[in-house]
């Protein structure tokens, strides 16, 4: 009885060195709400980018059949002409333009290049009424909240007479009330015959609105289930059900006394002073222990780490940091380093490295006093340090004078690690230490982590890859929406238990 509006067949998309999608199939029926779930990096967003023409036809293999005909989108404009509209996680609105200007951006109500503002405002008002947003079309985007911005995006989609609406984690940054309103809107659209694809982590939301669910894992379609079959258990099993191979080097844990402790740590968003990002976190790391923080993207893990490390994130920070049981001052990066902390960032290109400088200068920059006297650098000592760390962390390069910008992701990560090892910390906070690097390099990073733990250092690993945490950690904290929602020992922890902790917390807040 239902007709298929969209079919994606055998989609395979490779990036240099990574196969992001391999042979993915997706079948969406006309007028349904189709949810796509999967772990971070499973390939959901990539699939949607293929569909909407962000990755042009020809850059991937496979077929897209839309309303009975094969389509080849070269740009987003092509897919929009076919009434397919994608709303990305990061909203594509211009903050300092008005709602009306944003709705008709690139699609202005104009004749010969002259905009008819009366008509544009009237049109905008009509669209805003459809999405239930009571705002003046002349209001600037920057003056309305994220939830309302999301609605403006949807109004913009409606202005393009959308037939297939794709929402990439639309409720990730919305409050409970806004989320509910948004989901109601999707149900309302369904009545009007608009098909939606909803990418979400929030299983309770999916249960509420989705007609069918497709699970993607490691770039492959795992299964598509019908409304009757949708259950949290089944989704979770499908999402994480990958076999744990021997991808993690062995280590005999030798956990000592309490080394690093954070008490009652709270942080507010740097721009929105009333949004609490980290909520009363308490955790500790022992000597020689590898501790993980699990959680979804946006759960506040990076924000927590950066706020501890020299208050490099957020405002109105409160709480206490203790080393060896004594309170320490970590209010600037310098002080945090002096207290024995190091933080290797999740975004090495933006925050970790000077890409236009070579390995040597990047390795020594956090500890220049270690290779200088009275402010004068000893370049031979520096060379030796750089070469030693290059050897110790196995950085593959022609020499320590190679620019870090020309290194692969794994080797860049090793440079970041070397930099912090040379600052001789007692506690290392590693934020997504293996993101975007290949399996071999990952193994090497794990080996380094094990070695450091063996030397009695405390390691705190933030990772969105649950198998990784399970593979290397002695203890795992689970974080969600700024809170610690679970603590599991390495033996008892499993992907299901972690997921359950997260989902349970989502259920409480949503």
Partner 1 sequence: MTTETAPTPSEVPTPVSAGPSGRSILQANLRDYGLVVALLAIMVFFQIFTAGTMFKPVNLTNLVLQNSYIIIMALGMLLVIVAGHIDLSVGSVSGFVGAIAAILMVQYHVPAIPAGLLCVVLGAIIGASQGYFIAYVKVPSFIVTLAGMLVFKGLSLAVLGGKSVGPFPTEFQLLSAGFIPDVIGPIKLIPPTLDAAGKAIVGTGVTLHSTTMVIGVLIVLAMVFSSLRTRSRRRSHGYESEPFPLFVVKTAIIAGLVLYMTYLVASYKGLPNVLIVMSILIAFFVFMTKRMTIGRRIYALGGNPKAAQLSGIKTERLTFYVFTIMGALAALAGLIFAARLNTATPKAGQGFELDVIAAVFIGGASALGGVGQVAGAVIGAFILGVMNNGMSILGINIDLQQMIKGVVLLGAVVFDLYNKNKA
Residues that bind partner 1 (CB under 8 A): 309-310, 312, 332-334, 336-337, 343, 345, 350-358, 361, 365-366, 368-369, 372, 375-377, 379-380, 383-384, 387, 398-403, 419, 423
Distance CA 64, CA 51 (A): 7
Q: Least separation, in Å, of the C-beta of 478 and partner 1?
A: 26
Q: Between 327 and 405, whose beta carbon lies closer to partner 1?
A: 405
Q: Least separation, in Å, of the C-beta of 354 and partner 1?
A: 4
Q: Least separation, in Å, of the C-beta of 312 and partner 1?
A: 6
Distance CA 284, CA 258 (A): 7
Distance CA 165, CA 194 (A): 7
Q: Between 225 and 400, whose beta carbon lies closer to partner 1?
A: 400
Coil/strand/helix, residue 81: helix
Distance CA 318, CA 252 (A): 36
Q: Between 68 and 369, whose beta carbon lies closer to partner 1?
A: 369
Residue 196's Cβ-side half-sphere holds a number of Cα atoms within 13 Å equal to 28
Distance CA 30, CA 6 (A): 8
Distance CA 125, CA 117 (A): 12
Q: Between 139 and 372, whose beta carbon lies closer to partner 1?
A: 372
Q: Between 192 and 350, whose beta carbon lies closer to partner 1?
A: 350
Distance CA 96, CA 445 (A): 43
Q: Between 84 and 400, whose beta carbon lies closer to partner 1?
A: 400
Q: Least separation, in Å, of the C-beta of 456 and partner 1?
A: 23
Q: Is the dihedral of CA 171, 177, 182, 186 positive or negative?
A: positive
Identify the residue whose tokens are 């520096």. 382
- Greatest Cα pair distance, the chain, in angstroms, is 81
Q: Least separation, in Å, of the C-beta of 414 and partner 1?
A: 16
Q: Between 193 and 375, whose beta carbon lies closer to partner 1?
A: 375
Distance CA 108, CA 101 (A): 8
Q: Least separation, in Å, of the C-beta of 346 and partner 1?
A: 12
Q: Between 109 and 429, whose beta carbon lies closer to partner 1?
A: 429
Look up residue 2 and give its DSSP letter. Answer: P
Q: Least separation, in Å, of the C-beta of 368 and partner 1?
A: 4
Coil/strand/helix, residue 450: helix
Q: Least separation, in Å, of the C-beta of 365 and partner 1?
A: 5
Q: Least separation, in Å, of the C-beta of 398 and partner 1?
A: 6
Start-to-end C-alpha separation, the chain:
34
Q: Between 125 and 335, whose beta carbon lies closer to partner 1?
A: 335
Q: Are 464 and 40 in contact (CB under 8 A)?
A: yes
Q: Is the dihedral of CA 351, 355, 357, 358 positive or negative?
A: positive
Q: Least separation, in Å, of the C-beta of 407 and partner 1?
A: 12
User: Tokens at residue 34, please?
Assistant: 């189709």
Residue 483, C-beta contacts closer than 8 angstroms, at least 6 positions apart: 279, 280, 281, 300, 505
Q: Least separation, in Å, of the C-beta of 412 and partner 1?
A: 11
Q: Between 45 and 411, whose beta carbon lies closer to partner 1?
A: 411
Distance CA 102, CA 309 (A): 38
Question: Could you write out the DSSP letters of every residue in 186-206?
Answer: HHHHHHTT-EEEEE-S-HHHH
Distance CA 240, CA 465 (A): 10
Q: Between 94 and 368, whose beta carbon lies closer to partner 1?
A: 368
Q: Between 224 and 312, whose beta carbon lies closer to partner 1?
A: 312
Helix H segments across 273-394?
301-308, 333-338, 359-364, 379-392
Residue 376, C-beta contacts closer than 8 angstroms, at least 6 positions apart: none
Question: Could you write out the DSSP letters of every residue in 54-80?
Answer: SS-TTSSEEEEEETTEE---SSHHHHH
Q: Least separation, in Å, of the C-beta of 353 and partner 1?
A: 6
């Amino acid at each position: 009885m239902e007709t298929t509006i969209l079919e994606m067949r055998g989609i395979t998309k490779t990036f240099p060195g990574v196969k992001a999608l391999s042979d993915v199939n997706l079948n969406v029926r006309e007028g349904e709400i189709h949810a796509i779930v999967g772990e971070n990096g499973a390939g959901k967003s990539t699939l949607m980018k293929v569909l909407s023409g962000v990755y042009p036809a020809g850059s991937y293999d496979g077929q897209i059949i839309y309303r009975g005909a094969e389509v080849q989108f070269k740009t987003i404009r092509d897919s929009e002409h076919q009434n397919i509209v994608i709303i990305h996680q990061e909203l594509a609105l211009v903050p300092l333009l008005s709602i009306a200007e944003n709705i008709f951006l690139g699609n202005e109500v104009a004749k010969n290049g002259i905009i008819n503002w009366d008509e544009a405002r009237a049109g905008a008002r009509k669209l805003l009424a459809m999405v239930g947003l009571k705002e003046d079309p002349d209001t600037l985007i920057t003056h309305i909240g994220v939830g309302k911005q999301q609605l403006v995006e949807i109004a913009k989609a409606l202005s393009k007479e959308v037939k297939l609406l794709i929402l990439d984690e639309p409720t990730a940054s919305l409050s409970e009330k806004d989320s509910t309103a948004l989901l109601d809107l999707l149900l309302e659209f369904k009545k009007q015959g608009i098909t939606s694809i909803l990418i979400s982590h929030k299983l309770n939301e999916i249960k509420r609105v989705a007609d069918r669910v497709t699970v993607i894992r490691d770039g492959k379609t795992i299964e598509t289930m019908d409304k009757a079959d949708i259950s949290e258990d089944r989704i979770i099993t499908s999402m994480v059900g990958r076999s744990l191979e021997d991808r993690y080097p062995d280590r005999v844990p030798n956990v000592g006394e309490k080394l690093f402790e954070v008490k009652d740590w709270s942080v507010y968003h740097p721009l929105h002073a009333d949004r609490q990002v980290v909520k009363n976190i308490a955790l500790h790391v022992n000597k020689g222990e590898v501790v993980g923080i699990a959680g979804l993207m946006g759960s506040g893990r990076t924000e927590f780490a950066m706020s501890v490390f020299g208050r490099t994130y957020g405002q109105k920070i409160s709480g206490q940091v203790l080393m060896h049981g004594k309170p320490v001052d970590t209010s600037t990066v310098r002080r945090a380093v002096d207290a024995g902390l190091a933080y290797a960032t999740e975004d090495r290109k933006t925050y970790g490295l000077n890409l236009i400088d070579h390995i040597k200068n990047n390795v020594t920059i956090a500890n220049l006093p270690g290779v200088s006297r009275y402010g004068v650098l000893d370049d031979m000592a520096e060379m030796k340090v750089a070469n030693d760390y290059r050897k110790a962390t196995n950085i593959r390069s022609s020499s320590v004078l190679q620019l870090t910008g020309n290194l692969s992701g794994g080797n860049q990560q090793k440079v970041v690690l070397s930099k912090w090892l040379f600052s001789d910390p007692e506690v290392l906070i590693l934020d997504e230490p293996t993101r975007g690097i290949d399996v071999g390099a990952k193994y090497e990073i794990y080996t380094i982590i094990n070695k450091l733990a063996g030397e009695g250092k405390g390691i705190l690993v933030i990772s969105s890859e649950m198998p990784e945490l399970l593979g290397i950690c002695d203890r795992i904290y689970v974080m969600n929406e700024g809170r610690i929602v679970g603590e599991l020992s390495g033996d008892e922890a499993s992907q299901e238990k972690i997921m359950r902790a997260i989902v349970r917390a989502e259920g409480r807040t949503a």
